[in-house]
Structure 1
Amino acid sequence: MAKDLSVLVLGATGMVGGLLLRLCLDDARIGRVSVIGRRPCGVTHARLQETIHPDFDHCEPLSAALAGQDVVFYCIGVYTGAVSADELRRVTAEQPAHLARVLHAVSPGAYLAFLSGMGADRNQRSRIAFARHKGVAENALLALGFTRLGIFRPGYIFPVTARREPTLAYRVFRWLYPVLNPLWPNMGLTSDELARAMLGWALDESDRAPSSTFENHEIRRLAARHESPHSA
């Protein structure tokens, strides 16, 4: 893939999307960086273009912003237990498919990196709603036939910067993760490992598989291969 790429980050106000935005702005291989989100990302940069779009149930108005993209990172998501069952389904299963259809129509050669989750069930039979919804989304993206599609299924994502945890369970697990990680290294990863792996996959000249699914341990290996920065 050539230099001066056009890269789009969806979900740049979130934990992983925010890290990806910073990595993209710091990378010499990337010429233009765009973000689309429900609210401003709070970052200003000469190479950054921002589009505010409050309703991802309707993505057709985003055609112009999605056109001409080389790489797209989809990091929009919500936490189980922090939203209603209806919102969890819409954001996790339906909205990625809506946006991907518009993206594929206007940027058919784009590479798409999709943040899924451990346990995503493409058979859509899991009793866990999150797993079913992620499976629905993965199937929809695979059916569109992107030039390259990377599906990332992390376990627990440990925040490398302080944040307000969305639920009590996440507060507890943030405390437990550093203790448990040496014993069970594939239960999760850090947010910067995930961001590095997604960017590394997208810009890797040696990987041309049309679709790849990365489980937690594979994401960690991918992140380790892409530790060296390409500073702008």
Structure 2
Amino acid sequence: MTKKTTSFSIKNWSQDDQPREKLRDKGKSVLSDAELLAILIGSGNKDESAVSLSKRILSSANYNLNTLGKLNLKQLMAFKGIGEAKAISIIAALELARRRRGTVAIEKKKINSSASVFELMQPIVGELPHEEFWIIYLNNSNKIIQKQQLSKGGITGTLVDVRLVLKTALEVGAVALLLVHNHPSGSLKPSEADKKLTQKLKNAAQSLDIKVLDHLIITEKAYFSFADETLL
């Protein structure tokens, strides 16, 4: 006699337990993170449902979506029931969420504090494994005209082309600049190179009546502001 294998596909669950139908009938806000993740993966494995598998995946990330977003393809595929296609779906969905946060920050447009700079740039550089240096160009109302990555992989005076920064500032009509870079190490302490580079850009910009309003060092969860700490 052949033993019947129980299917854990979402379509075979009772209607009350189906997250797709729950989202359709009750709205997205009532679903747990595990239920939303279960919709993405569609099914679990022969031993557990998609929601149960999703809970296990979330547990491995301490139920933190930012931590989950850092898992790579190989790490996700280590879970039984998560093949390449499902792993790619999870990574793509979390990347969209990260970009959405950045878009919302950009829509605010006006920069009125160091916290607003952090909100804008943390989704872009806060979780990177390498350093990046960015310039934000502002008009006379402190509204963003443009933001631009200037260097990637490290921070030294030789990697930041001051002439390019000022050339772009003149081209877009900027009257103020914000400097931003990340510290993958998690340290918020500015290095001597950070301080020298800040002063170098500030002095060069002043000659064109362009102000450097702040320089932020950003980590995953926090930031250091040169302006707030009166280092400008």
Q: TM over 0.5, yes or no?
A: no
Whose helix fraction is larger, Structure 1's or Structure 2's? 2
The structure with the larger Rg is 2
Whose strand fraction is larger, Structure 1's or Structure 2's? 1
